[in-house]
């Protein structure tokens, strides 16, 4: 299969690129490298992947890439993902996540793409809810502009499907973590804590540390994307998570163990809670199990150990973790 991955030089996107190459697919990547790293694709380019440095907000440049590559399947991950920046600059957030997605959809339609897998967010779309784990039937109530723009992008995917017949599916991720996540980047508390542990620093917790999230390993996310691409009759939005609530305090304990540190060596610093962040979040992944055959397979402590090992090796090699 010929595949194209937008945001493919990023943390999640580059893991999907590797998974596609592992099964023998031809892969092209679109990334403006504003947050993605070309180093994430070093192995993939050596295996035949092609990188196009293009901003998804540039519709004409994007269409030219699609016309050249003629992908059968598209995995759309390019996005503005920083919740704080979305609150500070909702126009920039919407231009990237809404207008950029429309550009991707139009380029896909005009070049004859057969399947598009859209990346969205679980907790940030649902907002504060009463039912946890939260099913897809829950009405979206985003607290941050990021969640609002992602919901809007989902609706444009549905619109393209209804009007033009473009086969689309959206995956709403839990909190993704794993190798290649940047501890100095836009998101990812586990990566940030890895960076603190390697620098002999202290983890910073905003709030009391009892807020929960559904942490899902990036290898499971990559597998979910491939399953969704192959299940072309499946449309709409699907939660991709573990269905397990984990507190930030539990993350600190797991990371401390992975790093071999004592309690006094990795004692958290507490700061005031941040505007727009949820108190509790976990995703009901029952529909993904039934329709895609997906279930998360990586236990949290195993995934954190793998993430820390990667960060330690990257730091030792002089690369950005």
Residue 210: is the preceding peptide bond cis (ω within 30°)? no
Q: Do residues 255 and 190 make contact, with C-beta atoms less than 8 angstroms apart?
A: yes
CA-based nearest residue to 15, from 176, 191, 219: 219
Adjacent-strand bridge partners of 171: 119, 238
The residue from 92, 126, 146, 173 that is catalytic is: 146
Task: Based on the residue annotation, tell me whether 215 is a catalytic residue of this protein.
Answer: no
Torsion (CA) 241, 30, 76, 288 in degrees, nearest 10: -40
**Token digits for 229?**
């691409």
Among 23, 249, 254, 281, CA closest to 127: 281
What angle (nearest 5°) sits at the alpha carbon of residue 216, between those of residues 131 and 155? 60
> For residue 23, what are its two tokens?
């099964």
**In the chain, what is the straight-line distance between the N-terminal and C-terminal CA atoms, in Å?**
31
Task: Give CA–CA dist 47/229, Å, rounded.
Answer: 21
Which residues form the catalytic set? 146
């Amino acid at each position: 299969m010929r595949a194209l991955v937008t945001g493919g030089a990023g943390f999640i996107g580059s893991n999907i690129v590797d998974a596609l190459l592992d099964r023998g697919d031809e892969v092209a990547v679109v990334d403006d490298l504003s947050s993605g790293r070309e180093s994430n694709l070093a192995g993939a380019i050596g295996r035949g992947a092609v990188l196009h440095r293009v901003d998804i907000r540039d519709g004409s440049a994007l269409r030219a890439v699609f016309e050249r590559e003629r992908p059968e399947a598209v995995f759309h991950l390019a996005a503005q993902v920083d919740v704080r920046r979305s609150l500070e600059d909702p126009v920039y957030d919407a231009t990237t996540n809404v207008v950029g997605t429309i550009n991707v959809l139009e380029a896909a339609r005009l070049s004859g793409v057969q399947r598009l897998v859209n990346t969205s967010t679980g907790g940030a779309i649902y907002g504060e809810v009463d039912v946890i784990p939260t099913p897809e039937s829950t009405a979206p109530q985003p607290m941050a502009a990021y969640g609002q723009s992602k919901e809007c992008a989902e609706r444009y995917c549905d619109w393209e499907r209804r009007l033009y017949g473009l086969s689309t599916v959206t995956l709403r991720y839990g909190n993704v973590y794993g190798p290649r996540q940047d501890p100095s980047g836009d998101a990812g508390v586990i990566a940030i804590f890895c960076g603190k542990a390697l620098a002999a620093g202290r983890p910073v917790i905003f709030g009391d540390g009892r807020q929960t999230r559904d942490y899902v390993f990036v290898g499971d996310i990559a597998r979910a994307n491939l399953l969704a691409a192959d299940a072309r009759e499946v449309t709409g939005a699907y939660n991709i998570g573990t269905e397990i609530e984990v507190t930030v305090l539990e993350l600190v304990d797991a990371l401390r163990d992975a790093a071999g540190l004592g309690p006094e060596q990795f004692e958290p610093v507490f700061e005031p809670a941040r505007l727009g962040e949820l108190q509790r979040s976990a995703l009901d992944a029952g529909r993904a199990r039934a329709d895609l055959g997906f279930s998360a397979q990586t236990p949290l402590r195993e995934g954190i150990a793998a993430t820390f090992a990667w960060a330690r090796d990257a730091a030792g090699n002089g690369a950005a973790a």
